[in-house]
Amino acid sequence: MTRIGAVILLFIIAIAAFLPAIREEMSWLWADSHDRAADFETYMEDWPNGRHVADARLKYYQRTWIEREKSKIHQAYQEASSSGPDSDAEYRKQQQTRRDAFSWMAATNGDTLQSYQNYLHQFPSGQFARQARVRINALNQNPHP
């Protein structure tokens, strides 16, 4: 064997010796750069005794948790945004009840004939309509308290 042949053989042996370490490092760089749970899982499966297995395990659990939380948020958003006619009707009913209560508070704060009449004009069959009529009758009977 010539000197050049020996050098080439030594070079091939050196590359072969370092090839698994290079492949492992490339696998880690791939997983770390993509930063996804599946890639860290692949690294751990391919290199169970690899140099970065502890980091891969930690990042795998972190990414799995994050992906699961994102999925829950996405699902909740989808459920909230896909409201059917029943939930819209319920929302409008609740909104109307809040407006009724707010208008009644405004009427009682003003405590005038006009404020109660305004309430009845807005909510003729509202939650406090009977009380407004009673108060209007009382104010009509005694206009100057």
Task: Decide which of 83 and 110 is more confident.
Answer: 110
Range of the domain at 63: 3-81
Q: What is the pLDDT of residue 88?
A: 75
Poorest-pLDDT segment among 35-39, 79-83, 105-109: 79-83
User: Is the pLDDT at 77 greater than 90, yes or no?
Assistant: no
Q: What is the pLDDT of residue 87?
A: 66
Residues 69 and 21 in one domain: yes
User: Could you tell me the pLDDT band of residue 16, with boundaries at 50, 70 and 90?
Assistant: low
**What whole-number distance in Å separates Cα of residue 76 and Cα of residue 50?**
39
User: Could you tell me the pLDDT band of residue 84, with boundaries at 50, 70 and 90?
Assistant: low
Q: Of the residues 31, 56, 81, which one is the last residue of a structural domain?
A: 81
Residues 53 and 93 in one domain: no
Alpha-carbon distance values, 79 to 65, 67, 70, 120, 143 (Å): 21, 18, 14, 38, 54
Residues 70 and 121 in one domain: no
Residues 73 and 107 in one domain: no
**What whole-number distance in Å separates Cα of residue 77 and Cα of residue 82?**
8
Question: What is the largest distance, in Å, between two alpha-carbon atoms of the chain?
Answer: 127
Residues 97 and 71 in one domain: no
**What whole-number distance in Å separates Cα of residue 141 and Cα of residue 131?**
15
User: Could you tell me the pLDDT band of residue 24, with boundaries at 50, 70 and 90?
Assistant: confident
Which pTM was predicted? 0.45
Residues 9 and 76 in one domain: yes
Residues 89 and 67 in one domain: no
Q: What is the mean pLDDT of residues 115-142?
A: 92
- Report whether 56 contacts 40 (CB < 8 A): yes
User: Could you tell me the pLDDT band of residue 41, with boundaries at 50, 70 and 90?
Assistant: very high
**What whole-number distance in Å separates Cα of residue 94 and Cα of residue 12?**
78
Residue-wise pLDDT tens digits, 59-70: 999 999 988 888
